[in-house]
A = this chain, B = another copy of it.
């Protein structure tokens, strides 16, 4: 969240930002921001604020986003296609380096710079040094695809299907279920 904020400030050519200004943007309070940034080892200038460029760099380093991270997209349906075209990954240094599907009519099709490949050949991600996967397949297929990914020594999975995945503990999984997020809203209305 901080990285995105600092990246956006950098794009807007703002050189420094104070904790109170940042707090307003992020809907947090100033002490929280100072605490967090101090944990990151960020160096603000007293009387001025935080230097945008170097703080962004600092956070990038902590998150290991200072090198381009290759990711494989599994599932080239509507959601997969939307993700392949999503411009936001660039800011965080991601590169969608491969796209897989099991639908023969899609294999060979080109999306952006990638050609859709047969999911049966998913083990090539190991050769290509890809350690991240974005999962955009139907819920029923999710676990079996994950099992394949586990065999390919994947290290992290962004799961967009609404189901819990069984993986070895060494693998980090983040699940986003749009319906579940939407389900929070009526409570507040």
Q: Using Cβ atoms and an 8 Å threshold, which residues of chain B touch A43?
A: none
Bitwise, A24-36 to B at CB < 8 A (1) or not (0) is: 0111000000000
Q: Using Cβ atoms and an 8 Å threshold, which residues of chain B touch A3?
A: 183
**Which residues of A143-189 have CB atoms within 8 Å of chain B's CB atoms?**
155-158, 160, 162-164, 172, 174, 176-189
Cross-chain contact A94 with B174 (CB below 8 angstroms): no
Cross-chain contact B179 with A94 (CB below 8 angstroms): yes
Question: A1 an interface residue at 8 Å Cβ cutoff?
Answer: yes
Cross-chain contact B156 with A172 (CB below 8 angstroms): no
Known contacts A25-B164, A78-B81: does B187 contact A62 (CB below 8 Å)?
yes
**Which residues of A80-128 have CB atoms within 8 Å of chain B's CB atoms?**
81-83, 85-86, 88-89, 91-92, 94
Query: What is the size, in residues, of chain A's interface with B at 8 Å between Cβ atoms?
Result: 54
Cross-chain contact B4 with A132 (CB below 8 angstroms): no
The CA-CA distance from A62 to B139 in the complex, in Å, is 26
Cross-chain contact A88 with B162 (CB below 8 angstroms): yes
Q: How many copies does the complex hold?
A: 2
A residues lining the B interface (CB < 8 Å): 1, 3-4, 8, 25-27, 62-65, 69, 71, 77-79, 81-83, 85-86, 88-89, 91-92, 94, 131-132, 134, 139, 155-158, 160, 162-164, 172, 174, 176-189
28 example contacts (A-B, Cβ-Cβ < 8 A) are as follows: A1-B180, A3-B183, A4-B162, A4-B180, A8-B163, A25-B164, A26-B164, A62-B187, A63-B186, A64-B189, A69-B186, A77-B82, A82-B82, A86-B179, A88-B139, A88-B177, A88-B179, A89-B178, A89-B179, A91-B179, A94-B182, A132-B186, A132-B189, A158-B181, A160-B178, A172-B189, A176-B178, A176-B181
